[in-house]
Amino acid sequence: MSRAVVDPSITEFIQSLPKTETHLHIEGAVPWELLQETFPGEFDKTPEAWAADFKYENFTTFENEVLHYAGSYYTSPERYHESAKRVFQNHLDQNVRYVETSFHLGILEVIGCSGPDIIEAIRSAVPDGLEVRVFMGMLRNHYQGELTAVMDEIPNWGGLDGIDMHGHETIPWDSWAGQLWRRTQEAGKFTKAHAGEFEGAKDINTALDLLGTKRIQHGIGAAYDPATLQRLLDEDVALDMCPVSNVKLRSVESAECHPIRKLFDAGVKLTVSTDDPTVFGNDLVHEYDLLISHLNFTKQEVVQVVRNGFDVALVDDATRSSWISELDSIELTL
């Protein structure tokens, strides 16, 4: 899928749409050309994972590759700023208006800086014409040792828009997560969580029950459990999905059988994003093209997916309405 040839007319259509990116890991998005500039000769070879038919052996192999790229580059807040500046310019070039990106808690221990330092580095890279919301991501077993004091302060961090739960779904959920999510919500920040990509509908329900969030990252397991699917509808829970990532990580068998089609048809509010584009070699054109070329989404249905992104965006009603009006005008020409 990614790096495959996309029909120029489809590319033009997708490019014309004002869009959102609501599921993006900044550590998994360091621009490839920035790695090449920073480490001459080390990143000359195009990654195997960029091939259209590539699939990772397992999640750990994928995670190690992310850590290799991110660990090589992200050594200071200044590097977060430089990477984010290029990432956000790339969004503008794709006609993206709104981005939610997360940085990972574990990096604080590695490079010895504070969360607010990274938040400021990312926020100061935001260009005119783009709205960006910054999240902190963590693992289900992160609340231990010296990190507990850091995590207890997260709800008080200025400039942080919310928190997200990352990582292996096989790690058991723990009560600390519910407590931190509630404190963060009470502080006026937004919360979401990765769930149900590999561990099914039960994982989604645990996340909803424990964390009280209304946004699930991935959440493909809901498509295989009628009760969970209905719960998403009843509770107006949105799924921020990444089809190329799901195929390459083997959480679905193929693009053609991706459950995003079933979830969309059932009326679930879902968005489309790139997840970790450095590793997958994808962009939003490839994500939306997958819907059209592999899952028979019409242009009108693609417009609805884009509209969902604006519906969940953390912006004021006037800003949201202006974006949706622009989208509506395009839809009238289809």
Show the domain range for 315: 8-331
Contact 162, 153 (CB under 8 A): no
Q: Catalytic pick from 197, 235, 256, 326?
A: 197
Tens-digit pLDDT profile for residues 273-304: 999 999 999 999 999 999 999 999 999 999 99
Name the band, by pLDDT with cuts 50, 70 and 90, for residue 7.
confident
pTM: 0.96
Whole-number pLDDT of residue 2: 42
Name the band, by pLDDT with cuts 50, 70 and 90, for residue 1.
very low
Handedness of CA 298, 295, 251, 60 (dihedral sign): negative
Q: Which helix (H) or strand (E) holds 132?
A: strand 131-138
> Can you tell me the distance from the alpha carbon of 160 to that of 116, in angstroms, rounded to the nearest whole number?
8
Tokens of 80: 């977060």
Q: Distance of CA 43 to CAs 33, 53, 112, 118, 258, Å?
A: 9, 21, 26, 25, 32
Q: Is the pLDDT of residue 93 over 70?
A: yes
Strands, E assignment, 146-284? 162-165, 190-191, 193-195, 215-218, 238-241, 270-272
Contact 210, 202 (CB under 8 A): no
Whole-number pLDDT of residue 248: 96
Residue 1 in any domain: the answer is no
User: What share of the chain has pLDDT > 90, as a percent?
Assistant: 95
Residue 2 in any domain: the answer is no
Number of domains in the chain: 1
pLDDT mean across residues, the chain: 95
> Can you tell me the distance from the alpha carbon of 232 to that of 72, in angstroms, rounded to the nearest whole number?
39
Task: Say which CATH number the domain at 106 has.
Answer: 3.20.20.140
* Residue 331 appears among annotated catalytic residues: no
Residue 3 in any domain: the answer is no
Tens-digit pLDDT profile for residues 164-200: 999 999 999 999 999 999 999 999 999 999 999 999 9
Averaged over 252-263, what is the pLDDT? Answer: 96
Averaged over 294-318, what is the pLDDT? Answer: 97
Describe the strand order of the beta sheet including 131-138 as a list of residue ranges.
19-25, 96-104, 131-138, 162-165, 190-191
> Can you tell me the distance from the alpha carbon of 120 to that of 210, in angstroms, rounded to the nearest whole number?
30
For 105, counting Cβ atoms within 10 Å of its Cβ (0-12 exposed, 13-18 middle, 19+ buried), the class is buried
